[in-house]
Structure 1
Amino acid sequence: MAMMGYSRPLGETATAITGPLSADETDAPQAHGPDPHQDLLALANKTVLASQALITEIELLLRELSTRAKKLASTGVPMFLRSLQASHALARQALDDLSASSSSSSSSPLLPDEAFLRKARRKVGTSAVDISRAATHWAILKRCSSLVAIHQAFQGSAKTTRGEEISRMPSMSARQKELMHRTLKQQAKVEVHVVASGSEWLHVRTLQADRLAQQMSDAGWNWGQHNSDELPEDEVVLDEDEWSDVPLAKQVKRLIAAAKLHRHEYRIPRIRIVLPNIGDENPDINLFLGQLSRMDPAVHVTVEVRTGEFLSRGPPVAVEDAIRNLVGCPLEGLTETLNLDHSILVALASDITHLRVVLERGHSAATRAQIEEEARHEGGLMAKVLYPILQGRKLVCTPEAAEHFHHVLRLVGTASECERGELLVALPLGSQAQMSPCNGGREAFRARFRELSVHEMPSTVDLPITVMTECWRPDSLQEDVDEGALPGVALDVVRHCGFSAAKLSVFMYGWRSGNMTLSCNREVKAQFRTLVEMYRRAEDDYGPLIWGVDVARNLLGRGAGEAGLAQTDISRTGGCDAEE
Structure 2
Amino acid sequence: MASTSGNAESDDAGVQSASSYNADELLARCRDLQEEVRQFGDHLAKAYDGYFQPDFPTRLHATFSNNLRAEVEAIRKHMESPDPTSIHHLSSSNLPFFQTVWDAAKRARGIVRLQCPVWPGPKKQAALAPGHRIILSQGSGQRKSGDSAFIIDVIADDGKSWLKVSTYSNNRLVHDCAKEGVFCGDSDEDDDDGPDADDFSDIPLVKTAQKLANTAQGYRIGTRSPTCYLILPGIFEGQDFAVDKILDICRHIGINMICGNAVPPAPLLSESVLSSMVPGPKAKISKVLNMDTSILIALASEFSNMKFEDLPSRIHRNKTHIDHAHLERKEPFLAQILLVLSDRELVCTKEAAAALSHIVNTIGTDAENARAHLLLNVDPTKTREQRIAELQGLSVHRIPACLQLPIRIVGMDDDDCQARFTAPIKECLAVLLNPARSVFSYGWAKSFTTVTCNGVAVKQLERDLEMSPTLELEWPSVWVIATSRPLVGIPRKAGFRRVRKHIGDCRITCTCGVEKLYASRSDVTIL
Equivalences for residues 108-507 of structure 1 within 5 A: 117=84, 119-126=85-92, 128=93, 130-160=94-124, 185-186=147-148, 189-212=150-173, 223-225=186-188, 238=194, 241=197, 245=201, 247-248=204-205, 250-264=207-221, 268-279=225-236, 281-282=238-239, 303-308=257-262, 311-312=264-265, 316-318=267-269, 322-323=273-274, 325-326=276-277, 328-357=279-308, 358-363=310-315, 364-376=318-330, 381-426=332-377, 435-436=378-379, 439-471=381-413, 485-494=420-429, 497=431, 499-507=432-440
Question: Distance between the aligned counterparts of 2:103 and 2:477, measured in 1?
Answer: 33
Are 2:73 and 1:84 equivalent residues in the alignment? no
Partner of residue 95 from structure 1, selected from 58, 79, 86: 79
Compared CA separation, residues 396 and 76, structure 1 to 2 (3 A): closer
Question: Distance between the aligned counterparts of 2:10 and 2:21, measured in 1?
Answer: 21
Are 2:79 and 1:70 equivalent residues in the alignment? no
Compared CA separation, residues 359 and 416, structure 1 to 2 (3 A): closer
In structure 2, what is the equivalent of residue 49 of structure 1? 28
Question: Distance between the aligned counterparts of 2:458 and 2:65, measured in 1?
Answer: 33
Q: Secondary structure at the match of 2:264?
A: helix
Compared CA separation, residues 242 and 370, structure 1 to 2 (3 A): same
TM normalised by structure 1 equals 0.66
The answer on whether the counterparts of 1:195 and 1:202 sit within 8 Å (CA) in structure 2 is yes
Compared CA separation, residues 338 and 278, structure 1 to 2 (3 A): farther
Partner of residue 556 from structure 1, selected from 484, 488, 498: 488
The residue identity in structure 2 corresponding to 1:278 is I
Deviation at 1:554, TM superposition (A): 0.9
Compared CA separation, residues 372 and 205, structure 1 to 2 (3 A): same
Compared CA separation, residues 503 and 57, structure 1 to 2 (3 A): closer
Query: Structure 1 stretches of 5 or more lacking a match?
Result: 1-22, 30-38, 99-115, 163-180, 229-235, 427-434, 561-580
Question: Distance between the aligned counterparts of 2:183 and 2:414, measured in 1?
Answer: 58
The residue identity in structure 2 corresponding to 1:385 is Q
The answer on whether the counterparts of 1:487 and 1:542 sit within 8 Å (CA) in structure 2 is no
Question: Distance between the aligned counterparts of 2:342 and 2:200, measured in 1?
Answer: 51
Q: Secondary structure at the match of 1:366?
A: helix
Question: Distance between the aligned counterparts of 2:408 and 2:189, measured in 1?
Answer: 61
The answer on whether the counterparts of 1:489 and 1:541 sit within 8 Å (CA) in structure 2 is no
Equivalences for residues 509-520 of structure 1 within 5 A: 509-520=442-453
Stretch deviating more after TM superposition (522-531 or 396-405): 522-531
Look at both structures and tell me which one has the larger radius of gyration over its CA atoms. 1
Question: Distance between the aligned counterparts of 1:343 and 1:444, measured in 2?
Answer: 25
Per-residue Cα deviation, 1:388-444 (whole angstroms, up to 9, x for no partner): 222353322211111111111111122222222122223xxxxxxxx13x6233333
TM normalised by structure 2 equals 0.71
Question: Distance between the aligned counterparts of 2:20 and 2:433, measured in 1?
Answer: 72
Q: Secondary structure at the match of 1:311?
A: coil
Question: Distance between the aligned counterparts of 1:214 and 1:402, measured in 2?
Answer: 70
Compared CA separation, residues 392 and 238, structure 1 to 2 (3 A): farther
Q: Secondary structure at the match of 1:274?
A: strand
Compared CA separation, residues 543 and 89, structure 1 to 2 (3 A): closer
Question: Distance between the aligned counterparts of 2:258 and 2:343, measured in 1?
Answer: 37
Compared CA separation, residues 64 and 403, structure 1 to 2 (3 A): same
Question: Distance between the aligned counterparts of 2:387 and 2:245, measured in 1?
Answer: 64
The answer on whether the counterparts of 1:304 and 1:311 sit within 8 Å (CA) in structure 2 is no
Deviation at 1:342, TM superposition (A): 0.8
Deviation at 1:208, TM superposition (A): 1.7
Deviation at 1:201, TM superposition (A): 2.9
The answer on whether the counterparts of 2:8 and 2:166 sit within 8 Å (CA) in structure 1 is no
Stretch deviating more after TM superposition (51-60 or 402-411): 51-60
Deviation at 1:152, TM superposition (A): 0.5
In structure 2, what is the equivalent of residue 173 of structure 1? none
State the superposition RMSD in angstroms: 4.2
Per-residue Cα deviation, 1:433-461 (whole angstroms, up to 9, x for no partner): xx13x623333333333333332333444
Per-residue Cα deviation, 1:318-344 (whole angstroms, up to 9, x for no partner): 356545654543413223333221101
In structure 1, what is the equivalent of residue 507 of structure 2? none
Question: Distance between the aligned counterparts of 1:487 and 1:216, measured in 2?
Answer: 51
Per-residue Cα deviation, 1:129-179 (whole angstroms, up to 9, x for no partner): x111112212232233454322101123343389xxxxxxxxxxxxxxxxx
Per-residue Cα deviation, 1:291-320 (whole angstroms, up to 9, x for no partner): 866866xxxx75433343x624xx722356
Q: Secondary structure at the match of 1:493?
A: helix
The residue identity in structure 1 corresponding to 2:36 is E
The answer on whether the counterparts of 1:24 and 1:207 sit within 8 Å (CA) in structure 2 is no
The answer on whether the counterparts of 1:416 and 1:452 sit within 8 Å (CA) in structure 2 is yes
Question: Distance between the aligned counterparts of 1:287 and 1:468, measured in 2?
Answer: 60
Question: Distance between the aligned counterparts of 1:161 and 1:376, measured in 2?
Answer: 41
The residue identity in structure 2 corresponding to 1:70 is P
